[in-house]
Amino acid sequence: MKTIFHPVIALAVWTLLIQISIAFTRVRAGVRRQIQANDFKYGESPAVPPEVCIPNRNYMNLLEAPVLFYVACIVLFATAGATHATVALAWLYVALRIVHSLIHLTYNDVMHRLSAFASSNVVLAIMWLLTALHIAA
């Protein structure tokens, strides 16, 4: 079921949009003289304002646990294990990751962000359970 790749593409596009936002945030901060190029010589120095750091941290979040999402989707497709249920779970995972990002990049309430993050991880665990059961069958 090739539709398993629709949420994969959606999350990849979202990740790229967040990556682009890093550049805009940094350029804006540079124009405002809030940062200098050397502030990033070894990553982000303490001189970098939090509002400039957050998009980069969110981008890193989108490159961590979602790797397991991408792999699960590829395995499900390659083994003919993608079903309507796994595609629905994949879309739910993507939605929760986008909600997590939106919270992180806007009002950044830690408990709300944690709820979205934890929920997405539960969905990912269920996806992997279904993947493992399919492989074992």
**What CATH number does residue 64 fall under?**
1.20.120.550
pLDDT value at residue 79: 97
Closest CA to 9 of 119, 127, 91: 91
Look at residue 101 in the predicted model and tell me its pLDDT.
98
Question: Which pLDDT does position 35 carry in this prediction?
Answer: 86
pLDDT at 61 (0 to 100): 95
Provide the residue range defining the domain that includes 23: 2-136
What confidence score (pLDDT) does residue 77 get?
98
pTM of the model: 0.93
User: Could you give the number of structural domains in the chain?
Assistant: 1
Name the residue with tokens 């682009």: 20
- How far is the C-alpha of 37 from the C-alpha of 117, rounded, in Å? 32
Low-confidence stretches of the chain (pLDDT < 70) are: none
Using an 8 Å Cβ cutoff, are 97 and 122 in contact? no
pLDDT given for residue 44 in this prediction: 79
User: Would you state the pLDDT for residue 42?
Assistant: 80
